Amino acid sequence: MRRGVSFPWARHAVCRPRRMRELENSRGVEMTSGKPEWHEAASGGVVLPNIANRAIPHHLVDVTMFWSAASGGVRRYLMRKRDWLAAQPGWRHTIVAPGANGPGMIDCGGLPLPFSGGYCLPFRREQAAAQLTNLQPDLIEAGDPYRLAWSALDAAQRLGVPSVAFAHSHIAAMAECLAGAASGRRRGGPLSGLARRAAEAYLKRVYARFDLVLAPSDWMTGQLKALGIEHVERQNLGVDSRVFHPCRRDPAWREALHLPRNARVLLYAGRFAAEKNLALLVAAIERLGPPYVLLAIGGGPRPPAGSRVRIIPYEAHASELARAYASVDGFVHAGDQETFGLSALEAMASGTPVAVCARAGLGELVGSEAGIAVSSGKPEAWAEAIASLFDGEREKRVRAGRRRAEALDWRRVLPELTTRYARLIENAGRATGRGSVPMAHPATKSRAAA
């Protein structure tokens, strides 16, 4: 059973780990008349201790297998969070992932996963759990539901600290898709249904053990709640709207593509994988013909191919990627399993109109004004949507997309996320007798009573 926000495991602890004793001895927060000094979080709602005054910063550890030389959204989220936390006096951050290399990063090893685009699957649960335990974190976040998620749970249990799972991908939909492909169909059929049900049962089993599950869209939140996972909350992802900005447009970058001056360049940026439905984009571009061109930036086992397709390798530097977003004529993404749509948001921030799949997180992200949401899976529908990116509504969509991106700037999103972290950490402290945290947000009151 899930430990929950009351942290019942604290009642059974034989002794507190060293990290807890250090925090207790340091008093952790500024004391006034023997009571903690509290302040209201910038994002509103939850009243939190003033962690900037802590003698020892909160130590957050992120662990995930979604990390490779050519990986996308999860790695960008972790690196942006890392940069932001480095400027916050009350936090310390460590990333544990296969192949992670650099200050504050630990390589947990793993076997290369075929056809994954460079991901590795750690299989030694106990070894990874020991690595996490030795780091003495105050909170552990698992960025995938696979082997490392169980290692995170093991370490959190040993240390008596809260555990968070972030649902970056919809593995039930992926399992259905892969099983369908194995049987020669996109979806449907007994094998696809069996694979989806098995994945859903697994997700329910693993996520039930975390203290909190985060999902980046209402759609994904609803998918998890439909499985009976009630302790799930929506947590937006974001974009650096100062880096991804229309001013990054660069005619020289465009000229370097050696395309006709009248070319209409449509960009896809992300992993080349089956669930991204890149063949649908290729078919739509081929249907449109000149002057339309599909430019794909990324890497993976299923690169798009066609006479009107250009491929650029994965770009790790945000500033270079921002230049590409701002210098093309439109952005396209046909993935129907996206939990959020980080690349589409980056395109919107860059002043580039977008056409995306109406299903799942992408359709939710663009809504009815910030882009074109395509509900059909037919090439002719996508061709029509792509052509519509150049109609009289273009500037209106660009402005709406930029407003949407500014509302989801990391400077707004990450304080909300760390508010959630601090709430869990302080609740854990209350359960172990290290203090209490007053709750002012109605949502957190209902969670505490659950």
Same domain, 425 and 393: no
C-alpha dihedral sign at 231, 234, 237, 241: negative
Residue 1 placed within a domain: no
Provide the number of structural domains found in the chain: 2
- Residue 148 and residue 264 in one domain: no
Residue 307 lies in a domain: yes
Query: How many helices (H) and strands (E) in the chain?
Result: 16, 19
Q: Quick one: pLDDT at residue 433?
A: 61
2 within some domain: no
pLDDT (tens digit per residue) in 387-416:
999 999 999 999 999 999 999 999 999 999
290, exposed or middle or buried, with CB in 10 Å at 0-12, 13-18, 19+?
Answer: exposed
Residue 386 lies in a domain: yes
Burial class (CB in 10 A: 0-12, 13-18, 19+), 114: exposed
In Å, what is the CA distance from 247 to each residue of 128, 224, 244, 442, 446?
A: 44, 39, 9, 41, 44
Query: Which parts of the chain have pLDDT scores under 50?
Result: 1, 3-49, 51-52, 435-450
Is 296 within 8 Å of 314 (Cβ atoms)?
Answer: no
Residue 266 counted as domain residue: yes
**Alpha carbon distance, N-terminus to C-terminus of the chain:** 13
What is residue 35's predicted lDDT score, i.e. its pLDDT? 33
The pLDDT of residue 180:
66
pLDDT at residue 181, as a whole number? 63
Q: State how far the Cα of 393 lies from the Cα of 81, in Å rounded to an integer.
A: 35
Residue 289 and residue 232 share a domain: no
Q: Do 258 and 114 share a domain, yes or no?
A: no
Cα distance between residue 278 and residue 285, in whole Å? 11
Please choose, from the candidates 150, 167, 149, the residue with its C-alpha nearest in 3D space to the C-alpha of residue 73.
Answer: 167
Tell me the CA distances in angstroms from 316 to 303, 327, 413, 437, one per residue in order: 18, 17, 22, 40
Quickly tell me which residue has 């685009």 as its tokens. Answer: 117
- Inter-residue contact 437 to 419 (CB < 8 Å): no
| Residue 112: half-sphere exposure toward Cβ, Cα within 13 Å | 5
Domain match, 119 and 210 both: yes
Which pLDDT does position 171 carry in this prediction?
A: 82
pLDDT for 176 equals: 78
Do 329 and 205 sit in the same domain of this protein? no
Asked whether 110 and 121 are in contact (CB, 8 A), the reply is: yes
Same domain, 301 and 218: no
What's the predicted TM-score (pTM) here?
A: 0.83
- Asked if the bond preceding 122 is cis, omega within 30° of 0, the reply is no
Residues 216 and 349 in one domain: no
Domain of 148, CATH number, reads 3.40.50.2000
Length of the chain: 450
| Residue 447 φ then ψ, to 5° | -65, -40
Provide the pairing of β-strand 38-40 with 47-49.
antiparallel
Q: What are phi and psi of 310, to 5 degrees?
A: -120, 140
Range of the domain at 272: 246-407
Q: Determine what percent of the chain falls in helix, strand and coil, rounding each to the nearest 5.
A: 45, 20, 40
Are both 278 and 399 inside the same structural domain?
yes
pLDDT at 316: 86
- Tokens found for residue 412: 């707004």
- Please check whether residue 300 lies inside any domain of the structure: yes
